[in-house]
Structures are given as C-alpha cells and as structure tokens.
Structure 1
C-alpha cells in the first residue's frame, strides 16, 4: 500500500530506520545470497539512513498545474518492493520527486521510514518478506495511526514465492481490499499488478495472480468502493530485475512513472 504510502516486501532491517514496529519482522527470501530476493535467505544490505530533517506538511493534489485539488496524505504499502530492496527508497524516490514538483505540501505517511537524503519524505508501509495475510493483520492500526487519502498497494509476491496457497492469493487480496475499504471508506486504493519473477514456476503464478486482479478490483468498484486497478507489473520485464525478484534502478524508475500516471488519471488523488 502507499498512503500515498508505499509498501512492498523486500528489505532488510539494517537498511531502514523504523519509527515503530507494529509486529515482528519476517525474513524475506532471496534469489541469491548476496542480493535481496526470495528464493532463499539473503543477507542484510543497504546503509543506515540519515535522519530526515525536513518539515512535514499535509499532502495535496490538484487538477492542473498550480491548482491544489486536495490536501490529504498518500500511503504506499506492500512488501520489499515498496520498501526499496537493493535500492532503499525504491520507486518512492522518483515518485516523490515527480509529485512534489506539482503538488504543494505533499506528505507520504506510514510507520516505516527509509531512503536516501534526496528523498525528503521517507515514510511508507513496505515490509520486506511480508505476505497478504501479514499485511492484513496489521493494516487497521496503520490506517488509524496514519490516516491516508490515497493508498498505493502492491502485495502478493511473497505469497507466491513462499508457496502460501498461491491459488487463493487473489481472494486474500480481495478480502484485504474489503478490510481496508471498511476501515477507511473515503480513501482511494490503487491496486498494482506484480512484476515478473525470474523463476519460471513462480512467474506462472504471478501471471495467474495478475490475470485475476482486474476482476477482483472491479467487483469491489461495482460495490461502490474507491478502488482501481493499475497494471504496474506490466511495465517491467526480467531485464529490469536486479536479482530475479527485485527491480534494479531502471525498474524502480519505471514503477514510479506508472504510479505517477495512474495518480494523474485518478480523480481525488495527489496528481496533476
């Protein structure tokens, strides 16, 4: 999720500073020992982050350049991709740069915090190695503690890599959307498809999961929930992965552009 928070399941405890820990951290799986991934246990990576020194302001969205449309915070939620595995901050670095140039007082929210000094707002809800059920167990407290206006949600990769009942992963995501919508009915939730995986068997599950997502989201939208599908995963190929699981710098840049364009197209979200 992103409120505009971002969340993904790949990251290392030493790679980010955390203001609060809503639950125990779970190890993520990795494609190779030296790089964060998810096929076997990986090693921590990434430097400790400098403390953020900027003054936080409420987020804003607008209908055209120079005109503020809204002043509510966004939330990015998910797993290590939201966190920014291998590149602390991940897609949030470029997304914040693009949005803050057009949106006055942009404010990402979340209980987690990491990224380079160039990322002036490092708050997010990306938890490395986490599955859909783990996010669902904590999400009510996050939504109450950091009420978002817009949620960028990318979750499910670890369900598939960890072989946690992958056939029913789309149904679990649907239940998570119901839970989040009930908790924050005014928040808009943008639901992302998943990037590909280098492992062919796991990628077959990614393709099935992604194929089911439009229907899962449409069912909720038809019920009046403020949800929308964003085909984020389609922007990436295997060549955009650093380790067979997580995006490299170019891959994160592509994710940022897709999120940015989705926010531009979605009424009531922080985008120009």
Structure 2
C-alpha cells in the first residue's frame, strides 16, 4: 500500500475520532442540563406524584376507605365541613367499608341516648322529637327500628335509652349495659344540659363526650354517631355554660376525621335557620314546646340524610332484630314505665322485638 493511501486513512480516522468525541461531549452536556432542570422542578413541587383521592365520592364497596386510613395521625386535617343545615363533620372524604344509603334500603336501627330531652318530657304524648324524625325517615322509605332498654311515649316504636337528669358520663355508663346486645347502626346523642343545670363537670363535657363516642364506635363498629349541641336555655345564669359546652362539642368534632361522626347544631347562636329559639323553650326554661321538639326531630333527620350522603350508613349486624320497629307491636298506648338496665337482660318489651340471645321472642 502506498504512503499516500496510508496517510489518507489516518486522516479519515482522525476525523471520526473527533466527531465521536464531540458527540460524546454534546450528549454528556445534554444529560447534565436535563438533570439540573428535573432537580429544579422537583424542588419547586412542579413535578410531584398525585397522591389525592382520584375518586372522591367512593363507592359502596368501601374502595376509598384506604384514603382515610393511610393518613398519618399527625397529618390529618383539623378542619370541618358544615352544611347549610348546621351539620358538621371533619373534612375527610373517607367512607367506611360496607357503606350504603337510605335509598338502598339500609335498615336504620336507631338508639336515642340522653336525658329528659331525648325522652320528650313535657311534650304532647311524651314523643318529643322522636316521632317527627321517625315519620320523616319512613317517608324517605327507610326501614326504622328505634331500640333501647326503655319504652316511653305514645308511639308504637318508642324504644330509647334515656334517663332524666343524666349527665354525659352517666348515659355513657347506661349504654355499656345495652349497646353490646342491640348493636345499633345509628346513635343519636343529645346530652350535656344536665351538666350545666347541676353545674357539674361542665368543663369536662367535651372530654366525657369523646370517651362516650369512642366507646360506641368501638363496641358497635358498623355504627354512625350523631351528637348534638345543647339547646338554648332560659334558666337564670345557665346560658353561658350552655355556650361553653357547645363550643367544646364543636372542637370535638374536629378529632373525628375518617370516622362516621357528625355534629348536629341545635343552638341558634351559630345562625342556622330553624333552630329552637328561646321562644320555643317551655316555662321550665329547659324543655322545648311541641314546636321546638319538632325542630329537633327535623334536625336529626337532616343529620341522618347527611350521613347517607357521605356514605356513612352501614348495614346493621344481623342479631334477630326486626328491620321495622312496629312489626309485632300490638295496637297499644305505649307505657311510660322504666326498668333499670341489666348486664344480662333486656326488658320484656325490647325482647318482644328481637330474640337476641335465644333466637325466639319471649
């Protein structure tokens, strides 16, 4: 091979080496620039994975439950959502497993807990808010069974768990004797006024209510808890303490993110329409007139509808209880007698509605 050809080949080889080196430098420069850009975007949160709930509504299969359960307890929001009807929940979009709705025919096994305001004392027929609420739920095609160890008021389905003069911790104690047997899927709590009237544990009402709610959710784990603020009170010097208890309850609801708990606003101070006013309270300064009780019933109905809308309502435990609390009841005027709760028995009226332990009515 001639010297000229060898020189020519060396020349072309040098050119290719130069081009390869230039291309490598260009590629390396591009990768460095791209890396710098990506790091900058990540630092400014422009590029972040979407960790939000892609299906905020969720479904009845409870598929969105993990959205609430996977939140770190220190990162959960303390904000609340309040509807135009004065119903407050924590801000989570969480839904429990096995959730359903009134429209789907979920039986509502409702236990009303509290004191004389829940019993409906001083109302016509001693029905208080319960008949108004029950009638409204029936009109929504909801199967309703009111449950409890007590019967009170001139209505067939008049079971409840309420005792005159009870404070928050006292009705909690009563509940421990009956809730495990009946397993309600809806609890309605209206209590706290006696803490004020007796001037006892007023500053602990919220703390005691929290322990009460936590117990109910744990022992009846398909349940939704609706607790309410206290009504306005015209007894001398009581209203400031009523406002104190109510504020404790409004702060408490913030703790129940990812829990089926709602606060029903009963007091007019928050500006919501159709709350019992001072003019709707009877002469004793504490118990409402019939009209005031009717407003309470409507508020509780709205609260149950809100629980439905949020997907909180779950099918109750099958334990022999009727879906309709009037089934099997004779056409009678309900009695006003009370029997003390027992850890081993339920009163005969309640046992007529369900065979809880033996499988047959007594």
Same fold by TM-score, threshold 0.5 exceeded?
A: yes
Match of 1:98 in 2: 136
Q: CA distance change for structure 1 residues 72 and 202 in 2, over 3 Å: closer, same or farther?
A: same
Alpha-carbon distance between aligned partners in 2 of 1:164 and 1:145, rounded to the nearest angstrom: 31
Match of 1:161 in 2: 197
Asked if 1:111 corresponds to 2:149, the answer is: yes
Match of 2:306 in 1: 265
Alignment gaps of 5+ in structure 2: 1-99, 269-274, 315-362
Match of 1:32 in 2: none
Equivalence map 1:1-272=2 (5 Å): 62-63=101-102, 67-87=103-123, 88-116=126-154, 119-219=155-255, 221-222=256-257, 224-234=258-268, 235-242=275-282, 243-267=284-308, 268-269=312-313
Alpha-carbon distance between aligned partners in 2 of 1:182 and 1:97, rounded to the nearest angstrom: 29
Alpha-carbon distance between aligned partners in 1 of 2:108 and 2:298, rounded to the nearest angstrom: 21
Alpha-carbon distance between aligned partners in 2 of 1:173 and 1:105, rounded to the nearest angstrom: 28
**CA positional deviation for 1:253:** 0.6
**TM-score scaled by length of structure 1:** 0.70
Contact 1:68 1:103 in 2 (8 A): no
Alpha-carbon distance between aligned partners in 2 of 1:240 and 1:103, rounded to the nearest angstrom: 30
Alpha-carbon distance between aligned partners in 1 of 2:108 and 2:145, rounded to the nearest angstrom: 8
**CA positional deviation for 1:206:** 0.5
Q: CA distance change for structure 1 residues 233 and 110 in 2, over 3 Å: closer, same or farther?
A: farther
Alpha-carbon distance between aligned partners in 2 of 1:252 and 1:91, rounded to the nearest angstrom: 5
**TM-score scaled by length of structure 2:** 0.53
Alpha-carbon distance between aligned partners in 1 of 2:209 and 2:101, rounded to the nearest angstrom: 30
SS of the residue aligned with 2:133?
A: helix
> Hey, which of these two has a bigger chunk of strand by percent?
1
Partner deviation per Cα, 1:93-117 (whole Å, 9 max, x = no partner): 111111112234311111111111x
Partner deviation per Cα, 1:141-190 (whole Å, 9 max, x = no partner): 22112210111111111011101121121111112112222212321000
